[in-house]
Amino acid sequence: MEADTTASAARQQSLREHNLALVARTVLRAGTPPSRAAVAAGTGLNRATVSRLVAELVAGGLVAEEAPVSAGAGRPATPLRPASGTVAGLGLEVNVDFVGARLVDLAGEVVAEQIETGDRRGADPAATLSRLAHLARAVIAQAPRVRIAGAGVALPGLVRHDHLLTAPNLGWQELRPRALVLEAAPELGHLPMVLGNEARFAALAELAAGPDESFLYVSGEVGIGAAIIKGGTFFTGLHGFSGELGHVSVEPSGPRCRCGARGCLETFAGTQAMGSAAGLPPGATPADLASRLAAGDVDARAATHRAAVALGIALASFVNLVDVGQIVLGNELGTLTEHLRPDVEAELAGRVLAARWAPPTVRAATAATHPALTGAARAALEPVIADPSAWIAQG
C-alpha cells in the first residue's frame, strides 16, 4: 500500500504543478488582466482552486493584483497581472555594431539596460564576449532586488545548441559563446543560458508586442536575417537554420558577400551597404540615411531604391516558396519602411505568382529598439512560466 500512497501523492503533486502552470500561463500571457473568475472560466478549474493557486503565484512574485474594479451589483473583481520588477530574464546580444544587455521582467518592462555601440566586425571573440559579460554584470547590479531566471544570447549567425557555427559579418566561426562569457564572469555560471539567432529572438519580441500571429519577420542591420512565425510558433526547418534571407541571391554575379558568395541580399540592403552606396561615411546609421532622404539627396534616393528593389526580389522569392501573407520589417531596416515600401511592393506585385489573389502586405515592426534583446530575455523567462512550481521552490 505504501507504494500506492507514494504514487498517488506524486500524482497529486504533479496535478498541482500542472494546474499552477495553467493558471500562470493564463495570467502571464493574457492581453488584458483577468479576474480570478475569468481565470476559472478560462482554465476550467473551480474558483477555490484558482484562488489557492493565484495566492501561491502572488506569494512567489510571479503575479500581482491590481486595484479591484466594481462591475455592477456583484463583489468588485480584482484584475490579475504579471508582477513587475520581481523576476527578469537577461537578454544579451552581440551584433555587428553593438553589444548589449537588457533585463526584462514578467510584465515585459525593461528593468535595466546597457548598450555599447561600436563596430565589431573582425573583433576578437574572447574580448567581445568579455565585454558582454561586463554589461551583464552591470545590469544585474542595477537591479539588486530582481531574481534573474536565466539568460538568452542573441547572435547574428547560425546557432546549434551551445555552438555559434558562423557569424559571417563578425567574421566568427565555430565558437562556444557561453564558455567565453563565463570565463569573464564565472558568477553567471548558475544561470541557464540559451543561444539563438538574433532574427528569431527579435521575431519573438514582435510576436509579443505586435498584432499578428503569423508573419515573416525581417531583421535588417548590417546583416539581414529573418524568421517565419506561423500561428504563434516558429517554422524552424530541418536543422533550425531557416530564415537566412540575407544570403538569398539577388544578382548572382553581384558584390562579394562576407559569407563568400556573390550578390546576396545583404550586399544591397544591409544598412552598411546602403550607407556606402549613398556616399555616407562608414558607421553612418539608417537615421543618417533618412535625413539625407528627407533633404532630397539624389545618392541617398538611388541607394534606397537599389536596396528596396533587391529586398523586393528576395522577399518575392520567399513568398513564392513559402507563401507568407504579412511581412514585418524590423530592427534598423524597419525605421526605413516608408521609404522602402513602394519599390518592395512593386517587386512583390510583379514577381509573386499569387500576388493578384493573395497580395503580401508590408509593415514596420512594432517592437522597440534592439528587439532581439527583449526576445532573448523573454526566452529566458519561458521556463519560469512553463514550470512556476520549480521556480518558486528554488526561491
Cα(87)–Cα(89) distance, integer angstroms: 7
The nearest distance, CB 37 to a copy of itself, in angstroms, is: 34
Q: Binders of a copy of itself among 15-54, rule CB under 8 A?
A: none
**Which of 218, 232, 215 has its CA nearest to residue 340?**
218
Nearer to a copy of itself, 11 or 160 (CB): 160
Radius of gyration of the chain from its Cα atoms, rounded to whole angstroms: 23
Cα(375)–Cα(388) distance, integer angstroms: 20
Q: Which residue has the cell 514585418?
A: 328
Q: Binders of a copy of itself among 151-170, rule CB under 8 A?
A: 158, 160, 165-166, 168
Q: Binders of a copy of itself among 86-115, rule CB under 8 A?
A: none
Q: Which of 309, 327, 344, 380 binds a copy of itself (CB under 8 A)?
A: 309
Residue 306: Cβ within 10 Å count: 17
The nearest distance, CB 201 to a copy of itself, in angstroms, is: 18
Answer yes or no: are the C-beta atoms of 254 and 267 closer than 8 Å: yes
Q: Which of 251, 288, 297, 387 binds a copy of itself (CB under 8 A)?
A: 251
Nearer to a copy of itself, 242 or 291 (CB): 242
The nearest distance, CB 217 to a copy of itself, in angstroms, is: 13
Q: What letter represents residue 243's amino acid?
A: G
Cell of 328: 514585418
The nearest distance, CB 383 to a copy of itself, in angstroms, is: 26
Q: Contacts with a copy of itself: how many residues (CB under 8 A)?
A: 49
Q: Is there binding between residue 322 and a copy of itself (CB under 8 A)?
A: yes
Cell of 150: 536565466
Nearer to a copy of itself, 264 or 379 (CB): 264
Q: What is the DSSP string of 84-123?
A: SSSEEEEEEEE-SSEEEEEEEETTS-EEEEEEEE---TT-
Nearer to a copy of itself, 214 or 291 (CB): 214
Nearer to a copy of itself, 133 or 313 (CB): 313
Cα(181)–Cα(63) distance, integer angstroms: 32
Q: What letter represents residue 314's amino acid?
A: A
Q: Binders of a copy of itself among 210-249, rule CB under 8 A?
A: 214, 226, 230, 235-245, 247-249
> HEC states along 286-307?
HHHHHHHHHCCCHHHHHHHHHH
Q: What are phi and psi of 330, to 5 degrees?
A: -125, 180
Nearer to a copy of itself, 333 or 348 (CB): 348
**Which of 322, 309, 329 has its CA nearest to residue 354?**
322
Nearer to a copy of itself, 83 or 324 (CB): 324
Nearer to a copy of itself, 249 or 276 (CB): 249
Q: Is there binding between residue 55 and a copy of itself (CB under 8 A)?
A: no
The nearest distance, CB 331 to a copy of itself, in angstroms, is: 18
Answer yes or no: are the C-beta atoms of 36 and 80 closer than 8 Å: yes
Nearer to a copy of itself, 71 or 353 (CB): 353
Cα(114)–Cα(110) distance, integer angstroms: 11
Q: Is there binding between residue 283 and a copy of itself (CB under 8 A)?
A: no
Q: Which of 186, 189, 192, 350 binds a copy of itself (CB under 8 A)?
A: 350
- Give the residues lining the site for a copy of itself (CB under 8 A): 158, 160, 165-166, 168, 214, 226, 230, 235-245, 247-252, 259-261, 264, 309, 313-314, 316-318, 320-325, 350-354, 356-358
